[in-house]
Chains A and B, each alone.
Chain A
Amino acid sequence: MTASSKIRGKVFVLGDNIDTDQIIPAEYLNLVPTIAEEYEKLGSYALIGLPDGHARFVPEGGTKSPFPIVLAGRNFGCGSSREHAPIALGAAGGKAVVAESYARIFFRNCVATGELYPVETPVRLVDEFQTGDEAEIDLDENAITNLRTGTRFELNALGDARPVIDAGGLFAYARETGMIPRSA
C-alpha cells in the first residue's frame, strides 16, 4: 500500500488522559475486530464513552465519523491494552491522532494494526483548534496546519513507526520488507 503523506479534513478536539474506556467502552468488547461486520460496528461506537453532553465523534445511527483527525492533550489512550481502541477509531474513518503524548500500549497498537498515525506534538494544540476546523497534516513535513486560522504547527517525526503504518501494520510491513514470507 502506498500512503499519501497528507491527511486533510475536520478535527475532533479532546482533552488530556482520554482512556480506552472512553474510546470504546467495555460493553462493546464482545465484538471481535477480525470479523468484518463487527469491525464496522466497533467504528460506530468510537468515542461513545465520552461524558454525556460532549460532541459525538460518530453521528447517532451512523458508522463513520466526519472527523479524520483527532486532536488531544497528554496521555492519549491510557488504560486497557484493548486493540479495539485504535481499531474503533480507524474503523470509523479516523486517519490520525495528534496528541502531546500517548500511553505506551495504545501507541504500539496503532503501529501494529496500522489503523492510525499516532503523531506527537511538542506543543499543546488543543487550544489552537476547535472541533470542526479543517486541518491538514503533512507527514513528510511533520506539520499540521489549521486551515481556518492559517496557523502551522510543527509535529514530532514518527520515525520508524511511519513505514509500518504506511504498509498497513506490523504483518504487512514484515512481509513487504522480507522479515516474514510473503504468503503464509
Chain B
Amino acid sequence: MPMTMTEKILARASGRTEVAPGDNVWVNVDTLMTHDVCGPGTIGIFKREFGKNARVWDPEKVVIIPDHYIFTSDDKCHRNVDILREFVREQGIPNYYDVGTKDYKGVCHVALAQEGHTRPGEVLFGTDSHTCMAGAFNQFATGIGNTDAAFILGTGKLLVKVPPTMRFDFDGEFPPYVMAKDVILHIIGDIGVAGGTYKAMEFGGDAIKRLTMEERMTVCNMVIEGGGKNGVIDADETTFEYVRARTQKAFEPVVADAGAAHVFAKRYDASTIEPTVARPHSPDNKARARELGDVRVTRAYIGSCTGGKITDFINAAEVMRGRRVAVDTFLVPATTEIAEGLRTETVGGETLHAIFEAAGCKLSADASCAACLGGPKDTFGRINGPEVCISTTNRNFPGRMGSKEGQVYLASPYTVAASAVTGRITDPRELLQ
C-alpha cells in the first residue's frame, strides 16, 4: 500500500515496512521535550513509577526547555524550574536551557528548531500541545500528557495509533499581504476546531513550498486548533538549509508515495486567500479582516511560538515603520536569538527595535510564552480586564490570555500591526504599499 509521510515515519519508527491508519504501533522516540509547566509533574511520575534511582532511557534524547513562567515573582514557578535543574543534573541531560544563564532560550517549540532538535523523518513528543509545530520539518511531532511523557522517559517508546491523513494543497502563489497565519486560520475556519481530530494534516502545493521555515512552522503550529494530531510538510532545500545550519546529526526525510490515501483532500487557489481573523472565543470563528473594520481594539500583542518569530517581527515592522501605534502594543520575542535579531535585523535601514520604539510599542526584553496563555498575574502583556486584544498567538478561548472578560482576535503579524496603528481591526492592505 502506498503510504503518506506520517505513515512512513511511523512505520520506520516502529520497525515495520508498512503501517495503515488505525494500526496501534509502539514507536521508538527520537526526542522527548518538556518544559517548566509539565516537566515537574512528568519527573514526579517517572520517579514514582520507575523508582527513585531510575535513569532516563537516553539523556541525549531528552530536551528540557523552561519557557512558560519564568519572569514572574511566583515562588512555585521558581520551585518548578529548580525541579528541572536538579533532574537534569542527576540524569546528566545535556540539552537543558537554564533560566538565568546564557543558555536560556525561551519558547520551547521555536528553541527546539533553532537548536537543531527538529530533524526530518524523526519522531518528537512534547508535553505541550503545540509540539505539532515541528511537523514543518517533515517530522512526526505531537503533544502528550505527563503520564505518557514519564513512560517515554523510562522506556523510550510510546504506543501510537496511526492517524489517517488529511491533505491540503495550495496552488499558485499567496498574495504578498497574506501570511501563513491567514492560511491556517482559513483552514481551521473551513474544517472547524474538531475537523482534524485524530488525523494528520498534510500541507503541500507550490504556495506552501515557497514559504520560509518560520512560516511553515506557523501553519503546523495550529493544526491542534483544528483538532489535528500532527501536521506535516515535505522536506526540501529550505528545510535542509535550516536544519544543517543547526545540527551535525544525520537525518533521513520521508516522501509520500504516489497514490497514498487521504481521508480528506482539498485544493485551494492560493491567490484567493485573504487576511483572516479568528473572532472570540474560538480559533474557527473565521472572518475576513476587511469585514471587521468596525471592531475597536484596546491592545495588540505580537509574540508566542506561532507569532513571535523573527519573520513575524520583520513583517510587523514593515507595517509600523514611520507610524505610531494607537493602542497598547505588547511585543514578546519567542527566544533570545529572536530578541537579538530585533537589534540586528533591519527594515528600510532601521533596526526592528528602533522601528518598534519609535512606534511606541511596549517591547519585552525577556523571551518567553508570556501572556499567550495568561499565566501568573504579573505576566507581561496579560489581559487583566475587559480588553479587546488582537494577537498573533494561537488560541482565543475564554480567559486564554488572562481575564475571562477579555476578548481575543487572532490574526497575522501584518494584520495585528495594522490594527495596532489604527486602533481597529484593519486589513493590512490599507497600510502596506
Contact = CB atoms under 8 A, between A and B. Distances in A.
B147 A169 contact: yes
A49 B398 contact: yes
Interface string B130-170: 01000000000001111110110000000000000000000
A141 B50 CA distance: 36
A25 B198 contact: no
B376 interface: yes
Interface in B160-206: 193-194, 197-198
A63 interface: no
B76 interface: yes
B404 A34 contact: no
Interface string A23-48: 00111011111110000000000000
A82 B41 CA distance: 10
A117 to B, nearest CB: 16
A108 B373 contact: no
A49 B404 contact: yes
Given A17-B282, A51-B398, A103 B147 contact: no
A52 B404 contact: yes
Given A30-B69, A81-B127, A184-B49, A75 B193 contact: yes
A173 to B, nearest CB: 11
Interface string A73-102: 011001111111000000000000000010
A118 B227 CA distance: 17
Contacts of A26: 373-375, 400
A166 to B, nearest CB: 16
B253 interface: no
Given A27-B376, A32-B44, A34-B44, A79 B145 contact: no
Interface string B384-424: 00000000000101111010110000000000000000000
B45 A34 contact: yes
A81 B145 contact: yes
A112 B76 CA distance: 25
A87 B45 CA distance: 13
B68 interface: yes
B286 interface: no
Contacts of B373: 21, 26, 80
A82 B40 CA distance: 12
Contacts of A34: 40-41, 44-45, 48
Interface in B355-372: none
Contacts of B44: 32-35
Given A104-B198, A108-B148, A30 B54 contact: no
A98 to B, nearest CB: 17
Interface in A118-142: none
Given A34-B41, A112-B145, A75 B227 contact: yes
- Pairs of residues from A and B, 7 with the lowest C-beta to C-beta distance, nearest first: A34-B44, A83-B145, A81-B143, A112-B147, A184-B51, A109-B145, A30-B76
Interface of B: 37-38, 40-41, 44-45, 48-51, 54, 68-69, 74, 76-77, 80, 83, 127-129, 131, 143-148, 150-151, 193-194, 197-198, 224, 227, 229, 282, 373-377, 395, 397-400, 402, 404-405
